[in-house]
Each structure stands twice: as structure tokens, then as C-alpha cells.
Structure 1
């Protein structure tokens, strides 16, 4: 008997220890972890620099509330604003909280209510972020949603142009739809979306919960496309496993989030902030991001080389260390077999196998993952013949 609500379809793996790209279960079995805690452990498990920063803060204080000046919050916010090319930060505890705050900020700053998002998107599981999400399965059973969200097909500029109007507060999008199946925005679509927002006085919100903090080889994924958003949200990779989220905004939004307008008891917790600073001081270095780009190219080459001739593989989509392998096989069964063979991977969208390797994964670990994928998917390809 479990004392937990059965909200998760849990795997048969019970972790005992983890370091870098490797996870060991309670039976001593070794796994190559290409889930990174669903895009959280961007520096791998227990990175030494983050562990040291956490340990140092634990000897000072753990919590005091946001009534106090906390210099380290300013340090963390400076790293985020400089990396994103923006001005101000609000700290939350998760991606959903960050997106919830972004929605509130956009509506308050513009005085409008309508927000356009995209089919197959995922923005969280609070009521506002669930309503923002363009997947019906997320909303099933919860009754009426907030009515001010409108949804259009991703990468469809004509549909967006038909929906946007003078009542639109914001367009909210993921540059790469992670949970939706690793669907990547086209450069033309994203550029036109930004311009359309300017024409209608709507804000552009970019959800970088999964794509941010170096995941795609840039500090933030929108930087691949030279976009200039009003609001960016970050979370997952920001704290290397400690809970933290952030809303990063432009200076013109400052008045909308004045004293008493929004808050969080635990947002910007000193322990999480210490982890975030250490994480960003590593990932936002130009040399580190260049290394991620090189590893991403190597990963792309290995996957293409290993999988391109397998009938079970329909398409490989990738931006940086974020990969979607579309298949026509039973995905839960495939993921189980991969675990049996020592590789941890994730589902996404409809029949898409998702890889989110640590940004620190070595070439030999990439080789190992590609070999396991090839041998496992080869069996499915044979059975389909």
C-alpha cells in the first residue's frame, strides 16, 4: 500500500545514488541518465560547484522571507538579466509558478485579458497555466477553464494573425515545445510573431522553463532566433535540482509589479538561490556554451548515423541537447526496454522519445546512448518487417 496519490505512473527504478550522467538504483544497476530529471540537472547529478555553494549557505541561514534584503537574490537576478538581455526578475519556486506570474504581469501591465498560446504547448498545472496549455488531456476532469486563453496551431502565422487583436495582452510560446513532442519554431514564424505583437501592443512571453539555462547551446533558446521578448520564464535547469523559478522582464513592466502586487513565501529561498548562482556561473560562460554546441552537433551526428536506416524511426528533431525521436512503436514498452538496457529516456507528445542529456555528458556517454538506442530500436524495426 502506498500513502501517495497515484498521480504519477512511476517506473520500476528506485534511485540509490547518482553523479554526473550516471544513476545507480537500489539493486546496484547502473543507468545512463539522459532525462536529467526532466531537464533539471543540466550539470548532471550533484555537480561539485553547486553542492559546495549549497553547503556554504546551509551554515548561514535557510529562510528569512522576502521582507529582508538578500544580496544573493540580487546577484542571481543580475546573472539572469545579463544572460537574457533584460532588466528585472521575480523569483518563484517552479516553472508553473513562474508562468502563472508572467500571465498576471502581462494582464496587469497591459490592462487586457486575452492571451494567445499554441496547440501542443505545455505551461504548467496550476489553473492559469493549465488553461494556457494547448493540450486537452491536461485539462480533463477539472471543469471550466479560464476563458481568456485562445489557441492556434504552432508555426501557423496566418492562424495567429487571424486571432490577435487590440484586446490581446500577450502571445505566450515555447521556442521548442518540449512536452508537446520537441516541435521547433521556425525562424520566420517566430520573427513574424514578435513583429505582430509590436503592431498590436501585445507582450511577447517566451516560456523557457525547459529550454533555458544552456539546454539548447545558448543561455536561452530564443537567442538562436534573435528575438526580443518582453517576458521570459525560467525554472528547471536554474537550480540544478533545487526548486526555483524566475520571471525575467523588461524595465517598462516594473510599475505593474510594485509592492503588494505579487508575492511568494518561499520564492528566492537562500538555499535555492545559492544553487542557482553556482549553476549560472558555470553554464553562462561562453566556453561552456560553446562546448554544449559542439556536443550537440556530435549527438546529432551519432543519432543520425545510428538511427537513420531504422524503420521504427520516423523523424529526429533536435535543438541543442534537446532531442525528440518520433517512432511508430509502443512508446511505454520502448522506454521500458531502454531502461532494461541501461538508458533512461522520456516520452513527449504522441509517440516521441525524448532525450535531455546533461550538458556535461561526455562523447563516450553519447556513444553509449546511441548504441543502446540503435540496438533496441533495431529489434522493433526487425519486428515491423
Structure 2
């Protein structure tokens, strides 16, 4: 009997949640069922998902930024199919591969001029781990400084650089020599670097948790301070890079030149995990400084042909379809259109972001009825108001979104970069209706809020 993935899908299509409850993370299933996200998707094309009833959903998360070119893009599919059928030598360990050289050349053509070497790995967190090791070896220093509320991955080195306690709780002790400073605070950064004992400062140009934007002078100041105190400047562009913010790299908005750029997510085309670090020749040549150190850091699967082909095809699609420019135009239009609603809605604080990395933030209202309703939700669990918004966005408007981080009243959009005018209207109109419903107290959306508050209180008490 021949093996068939299609047959497996057909035979077991109704078992997805049961399998996860029995053999994987059953808490994730509980979350999905509680908030009504327990759909069985049967097809995915571009920016759209389709369930068993063939209902179309606009995916505004894109796998946390993985599907920059949309799902199942034919150019990427064809590249992978071709790679599979060519019988190419792959992962020949006492050799170097052609495709990784071509991908390195193509990526470095997009980076600042000071970066001219690439290291490939399998994920964003591996890219950050490499940056930590390379910075320590290059500077002969131990300390790494990161930002409060930052996110850099969940392996132990990366986790040591996360500024969100919810991810760190119970996993310590962490990598020694790591400390945080507030984001957007140059004075605090200078104090942290002033002893000239910090190997690297790692920062997301725009923080993913909350979509926090830097002041115009912040990253320019970061570059200056790092040079002044001999610290390497590492830009974590795992989420913000490769067109996400309306520039190829988010650092391009502020015209800075870090010593390393960490990347992953979108580079995969959504098929084969791939991460990387772009760096200066000085860093590469310091770490790999002798023939006996040629393999001092690497990864077995890191330059496999499928991953490299996915990266090459993805970059070609982004170029051919002008997706960086589309991200800038459509994202700015969405932000502008949602901000235009603020005079009508007390709960709406602002929309912000760059390109198609967008946050919609909510706030406590002033009128007494709305203020009391808000306070009830906040007392149960901070950030619950946003969950009350995302659920009807999904169930009623078929828009897949998420809360931007733990304990914050921010909804985050991270859609594919190929959104159309129809998609733009879909997003704006859906938010308009959902936010309008929150201002109807009492109303059906507040019945949902009451149920969410009840679940949150049960979780706190462990009942």
C-alpha cells in the first residue's frame, strides 16, 4: 500500500482536536474552544483560509509573519517541487552548497553596506543564539543588554533576553550577564554600556509585543552609543524584516547600520524554516578565524536545499510583485482609516505601526456606563477588552487577529504583504462594526465579555 498524505487528511480530518488533546498541548485546544477559534481549515490560498463550509477568512496573522507572500504561493511551490525532482546533492557535510551561496548574495544585496557575510540557521531563535555567541567571541565580553517588553525567542539564550515575564516564569536561572533597559530610553542605554563591558545590545526596531515604535532619534542614538562604548548593535528583524514594515528592513526607516541583523519567518515562504544572521566581515572572520574553527558554530540542517530554494523564491516574489511597496501603501491606509474613527469611539485610542505591522490600541472611556463596563473586564484580567473585540472579528467578520501581547489592550495585525483594496476595506469595515458594538452597553458583545471575565476569574482561582 502506497503512502499518501492526501489519504491521511481524508481519513482523519475530524480528529485534529482530539489528537492534540491526547498527544500534544491540550491547553491550546482549550483556549481555541473557549474563544471560538476551533475551526477546521481545509484550504489556504494567499491571504485567505477556508473552512469545511468553504467560508473565507482573511488571515491577519500570517503565521506570526511567516506568510509574507501569502500561503501556497505558486512560485515558491514550483521552486520546491523543482528542487525535489532534480536529485541535487544536499547536506554534503564536507562541502559547501551552491544555493546557500546564492541566497546569501541576494540577501546581502538588501542590507546596509557594512554587512557582507551571512550565517544560516533554522529559526529566529537560533539566529539570536548565534548573535549572542558571535558577539561574545568578537568582543571578548560577556554581557548582553536587551529591552524591556522585547521578544527574541524561547530557547535558553534567547529567553534570557526576553523582557516579558510570562515567558520566563519557572525556566530560570538564565544566561548570566544579561540585563534589560527600557525601550526608547537612550540615557538608560548609555548607563548600561558606559563600563565598556557589554558585548551586544539587541533590539527589535519595532517591538513585536504591542507594536511599540521608537522615537525618530532612538536607533540613531543606539548606533552612536554602541560605537562609542565598543558594543555590537544587533537588530532583531525576525518579525520586522523582509518587507513587513514597508521597507525591506525596519532599520531602513531610520537609516542605521547595525553590526548584525537577525532574520527568519518570512524568508521561509511559509514552507521550510530558515533563519539567518547578516554581519560584518570582522565578526565572521573573528569567530571563524582558523581552519580548525571552520565548524565551531553551525547547524546540521541549516543550509539544506529546500530551505535555500524557499528563501530564493520568496525574495523573487517580493521583488516581482512589489510587496514592500504594497505593504507601505496598504498599511498606511489601514492606519489612517482606523484613526479617523477615533472621534466616534471612546474606546479607540489609536492605530499605529509601519507597513503591515499594525496595532490598534484601546483605552478606558470617559462616559460612566462604558467606564463601568471597561473596569469590570480589567478587574477580571487586564487586556480582556481586546479579546472581546477579536472574537467577533473572527466569528462575525471572518478576520483572524490576535491580542498583541500579555496584559495589554492592543489588537495586532500582521497580514500577508499582498493585501488588496478589497482586503483593506474588509479590515477597516470589520473593525468599524466591532468597535461600534462595544459601545452598546448592554449588548451581545458585553454578554461575551461577561463570559470571558468568568473564565478569567476561574483561571485565577484555579477552579
Per the normalisation by structure 1, the TM-score is: 0.95
1:30 aligns with 2:60: no
1:116 aligns with 2:151: no
Indicate the SS of the match to 1:187: coil
- 2:386 is matched with 331
- 1:343 is matched with 399
1:315 aligns with 2:384: no
Distance 1:88 1:66, change over 3 A: farther
8 Å CA contact 1:214–1:284 kept in 2: the answer is no
**Deviation readout 1:58-101 (Å, 9 max, x if unpaired):** 11248424433211111110111110132111111111111111
Higher Cα Rg, which structure: 2
8 Å CA contact 1:322–1:356 kept in 2: the answer is yes
- Structure 2 counterparts to residues 166-205 of structure 1, below 5 A: 166-178=196-208, 180-205=209-234
- 2:429 is matched with 371
Higher relative contact order (Cα pairs below 8 Å, separated by 6+ residues): 1
8 Å CA contact 2:80–2:309 kept in 1: the answer is yes
8 Å CA contact 2:144–2:202 kept in 1: the answer is yes
- 2:14 is matched with none
The root-mean-square deviation of aligned C-alpha atoms, in Å, is 1.9
Per the normalisation by structure 2, the TM-score is: 0.79
1:353 aligns with 2:411: yes
- Structure 2 counterparts to residues 119-268 of structure 1, below 5 A: 119-164=148-193, 165-178=195-208, 180-241=209-270, 242-258=272-288, 259-268=294-303
The count of aligned residue pairs is 384
- 1:97 is matched with 126
Q: Which portions of structure 1, spanning 4 or more consecutive aligned residues, are displaced by more than 6 angstroms?
A: none
- Structure 2 counterparts to residues 1-12 of structure 1, below 5 A: 1-6=21-26, 8=28, 9-10=31-32, 11-12=37-38
- 1:57 is matched with 83
**Deviation readout 1:117-141 (Å, 9 max, x if unpaired):** 0001000000000001111111001
**Deviation readout 1:314-346 (Å, 9 max, x if unpaired):** 221211110011124522332222110200012
8 Å CA contact 1:306–1:371 kept in 2: the answer is no
How far has the Cα of 1:308 moved from its partner?
5.2
Q: Which of 73, 82, 85 in structure 1 is aligned with 2:100?
A: 73
8 Å CA contact 1:212–1:221 kept in 2: the answer is yes
Give unmatched runs, 5+ long, in structure 1. none
Distance 1:308 1:80, change over 3 A: farther
8 Å CA contact 1:312–1:378 kept in 2: the answer is no
Indicate the SS of the match to 1:84: coil
How far has the Cα of 1:256 moved from its partner?
3.1
Distance 1:69 1:260, change over 3 A: closer
